[in-house]
Amino acid sequence: MTIKIPALACLLLAGFSVIAADNIATLRGDAALHEQGKATALTPVENKDLRRKRNSPMEPPTIPHKIDNYQVDLRTNKCLTCHSRKRAADSQAPMVSVTHYMDRYGNFLAAVSPRRYFCQQCHVVQHDSKPLVQNTFKDIDELLQKQGDPR
């Protein structure tokens, strides 16, 4: 049994070096898995405060401004200083959806639900970059328009 484990380890390491030799494009660049690669630079974050069109009906909206150093932890959520129900009118920022104030049973809460409190688990900042794949999504309004909307 003790002879099999080192042999298995050698086979795994050999497999990793074969994969690394394929030069698969990753954020690490073309560095081997056991080496420190130079990270690929991302495009800068957009800071235009303009909402983007969504690519699918259930896609969470992207964040149209920088959020560097925004504190979001158990005690503080910097996003809610502008996007909460109380502050949205003064800040002219869109209020978080009413679904964020509901618990898992559909009951409305006085504050943002703990399930929806950490904004960046769904929402991301916008980058001005080319799409990696073509998007062919068409929303219902676009489909109805092509079919001669009967409404």
Residue 116 belongs to domain with CATH number: 1.10.1130.10
Give which of 53, 31, 49, 51 is closest to 40, Cα–Cα.
Answer: 31
- Give the pLDDT of residue 79: 96
Q: Tell me the mean pLDDT in the region 40-63.
A: 83
- Give the pLDDT of residue 117: 95
Rounded to two decimals, the pTM is 0.62
Instruction: Give a yes or no: residue 134 inside a domain.
Output: no
Binding residues for heme c: 65, 79, 82-83, 100, 119, 122-123
User: Own/partner pairs for 121-125, CB < 8 Å, 24+ apart?
Assistant: 122/60, 123/60, 123/61, 123/62, 123/63, 124/62, 124/63, 125/45, 125/46, 125/62, 125/63, 125/65, 125/66, 125/67
Query: Is residue 79 within 8 Å of 60, Cβ to Cβ?
Result: no
Q: Is the pLDDT of residue 18 over 60?
A: no
- Looking at the structure, do residues 105 and 47 belong to the same domain, yes or no? yes
Q: Is the pLDDT of residue 92 over 90?
A: yes
Comparison of pLDDT for 98 and 29, the residue scoring more: 98
Q: Give the total number of structural domains in the chain.
A: 2
- Looking at the structure, do residues 101 and 47 belong to the same domain, yes or no? yes
Cβ neighbours of residue 15 closer than 8 Å, sequence gap 6 or more = none
39 Ramachandran zone, left/alpha/beta (phi>0; psi -120 to 50): beta
Binding residues: 65, 79, 82-83, 100, 119, 122-123
- Give the pLDDT of residue 19: 53
Comparison of pLDDT for 100 and 25, the residue scoring more: 100
Q: Is the pLDDT of residue 16 over 60?
A: no
- Give the pLDDT of residue 2: 55
- Give the pLDDT of residue 58: 85
- Looking at the structure, do residues 71 and 85 belong to the same domain, yes or no? yes
Q: Is the pLDDT of residue 84 over 80?
A: yes
Cα separation, 34 vs 129, in Å, equals 30
Encoded amino acid at 120, one letter: Q
Instruction: Give a yes or no: residue 98 inside a domain.
Output: yes
- Looking at the structure, do residues 66 and 30 belong to the same domain, yes or no? no
- Looking at the structure, do residues 54 and 78 belong to the same domain, yes or no? yes
Residue 74 structural domain: 43-129+139-151
Cα separation, 44 vs 93, in Å, equals 22
Instruction: Give a yes or no: residue 145 inside a domain.
Output: yes
- Looking at the structure, do residues 70 and 25 belong to the same domain, yes or no? no
